[in-house]
Amino acid sequence: MIDTKTLTQLGAHVETPQSPEAAVLETVPFARGDGPPAIVRFTCPEFTSLCPVTGQPDFAHIVMDYAPDTLLVESKSLKLFMTSFRNHGAFHEECTVMIGRRIVAATKPLWLRIGGYWYPRGGIPIDVFWQTGAPPEGAWLPDTGVAPYRGRG
């Protein structure tokens, strides 16, 4: 059984953080074991942030894959972190890379990739990709499952 005494958000009523900077990404231990590394996927199909110029909402489908080493992202803290972007004004590229870097800082994974599939702004969809390096040898990397833009539906 994992000791959850250090977790402050799981099982508790927690308000949405006011900003991504204020959000706390919590972790739990992970025993990697032998063989190829596991790939963990988080998908956020209804991600929202704000345009830093107009203040209008922007929407994206975010897919994060990572190969954990000794720590996993605790999913409730990740949900709160992702939700904190709803009042955050930043361009698509900054939001996508910021998410990846925060997960890397919290978990120190063997590898991480993130894809931000943004719905059109001004008629142009913007897709943003970032990863920490080459994927680990032997890891199974599924397709992201997000089709090229055709209405994203």
44 has catalytic annotation: no
Q: Residues annotated as binding site?
A: 73-75, 92-93
* Among 44, 58, 65, 95, the one annotated catalytic: 58
Beta strand residue intervals within the chain, DSSP E: 27-29, 40-50, 57-67, 71-73, 111-121, 124-131
Q: Residues annotated as binding site for substrate?
A: 73-75, 92-93
C-alpha distances in Å from residue 97, one per residue of 43, 86, 102, 123: 15, 16, 9, 22
* Among 51, 65, 69, 127, the one annotated catalytic: 51
58 has catalytic annotation: yes
Cα distance between residue 123 and residue 132, in whole Å: 30
Among all residues, which ones are annotated catalytic?
51, 58
